[in-house]
Amino acid sequence: MDVLRGFAILGILAVNIQSFAMPDATLFNPTAYGDLTGTNRWVWYVTHILFEQKFMTIFSMLFGAGILLMTGRAEARGIPSAPLHRRRMAVLLGFGLAHAYLVWTGDILVGYALCGLLVHRFRHREPRSLVGWGIGLVAAASVLSLIFGWSMAYWPPETIEELTRSVSPTSAAVDETLSAYRGGYLSELVHRAPRSFQSQTFVFLIWTFWRASGLMLIGMALFKQGVFSAARSTRFYTGLLVAAAAAGIPAAIYGTWRNFGAQWDVRYSFFIGSQYNYWGSILVSLGWIALVMLACRHEVARGFTARLSAVGRMALSNYLAQSLVCTTIFYGRGLGLYGGVDRVGQALIVAGIWMLQLALSPWWLARFRFGPCEWAWRSLTYGRPQPMRRS
């Protein structure tokens, strides 16, 4: 699980880099800002088809599995898991709020903490029940999205215009965003705070809650079935790879083709065209999981998987470090490169951060028991400082 978690944390950055480097509209409409020709176009295609929503899906599943792992260990020691879990989620919520309002608006920790409080109640259910509930919750967000899309004809014109501007911003709106993030810390904070609040309220209620909770439950089921421990047969993992290649990737490609055909018009692409990748991403993520599990079985990959494991054991620290490094590179309080680095340049920055975290994580864990944020999370959860240095 640590190897897979490290793999997911690194993959998440390949998608998040767009939000660090360019206006958020590019996450929903790649034509909204920046060059989308030549190699830049191919970088976007690869990122969208193989990474977007896929690695967050893996991490959401692992979060659910982690809840089972933590509560199971506590209950094995005779410790009631519910109070411990609530404290753990409360601390994570604090990390997320600080991250969202002080560092970067794309935080996911707040949503995970809130969803984690719910899914803990499902921990004793059988895998089939967990999968059924999980798919149902994931489908709920899809149904809401389709309802919103089909009902747009009846929306007030000003509401449609506001949504359109958020996905296809005007030149003036883009300039305002560039100025905010290239300016000082106060200007970015003023721009970031309302967007973080919207993400934690409206977006959480119509999307994050349903998808993240559902994937966590599916992750619990996969954990109980030994999928995350490389315990299933080679044939099983090969089947997941085939499903990803035969259905998941084609669905994402077809949805992308349809969205370009609709010229990324918000009436289609935002609510309806997005559904192909929404569902295809789950199959693609299962293919990635299978690939990592098969790699864990081979001696030739042992050195690399050991580094991935270290990244995964420091997942919270590495996730927050990515935000700190990227905001320093792109925001005005650092190098101020926001809006000035194309997609190829962003991919090179991602590769550099990957190499850095793959090198530093094993170095740190050779000297300390936990990552710095993991140590704080654990210490606050248990109400006392945890031993940090290795003897």
**pTM confidence score:** 0.95
Distance separating alpha carbons of residues 258 and 273, to the nearest angstrom: 7
In total, the chain counts a number of residues equal to: 391
Which residues are bridge partners to 227 per DSSP?
A: none
State the number of CA atoms in the 13 A half-sphere of 237 facing the CB.
19
Pick from 30, 203, 2: nearest CA to 107: 203
Please check whether residue 107 is in contact with residue 196, taking contact to mean a CB–CB distance below 8 angstroms: yes
- Determine the pLDDT at residue 80: 86
Please check whether residue 21 is in contact with residue 338, taking contact to mean a CB–CB distance below 8 angstroms: yes
- Determine the pLDDT at residue 142: 96
Distance separating alpha carbons of residues 224 and 227, to the nearest angstrom: 8
- Determine the pLDDT at residue 214: 98
Please check whether residue 57 is in contact with residue 213, taking contact to mean a CB–CB distance below 8 angstroms: no
- Determine the pLDDT at residue 75: 86
List all residues 6 or more positions away from 206 whose beta carbon is below 8 Å from its beta carbon. Answer: 141, 144, 145, 148
**Domain limits, the chain:** 2-382
List the pLDDT tens digit at each of the 391 positions of the chain: 999 999 999 999 999 999 999 999 999 999 999 999 999 999 999 999 999 999 999 999 999 999 999 998 888 888 888 999 999 999 999 999 999 999 999 999 999 999 999 999 999 999 999 999 999 999 999 999 999 999 998 999 999 999 999 899 999 999 999 999 999 899 999 999 999 999 999 999 999 999 999 999 999 999 999 999 999 999 999 999 999 999 999 999 999 999 999 999 998 999 999 999 999 999 999 999 999 999 998 888 889 999 999 999 999 999 999 999 999 999 999 999 999 999 999 999 999 999 999 999 999 999 999 999 999 999 999 999 999 998 7
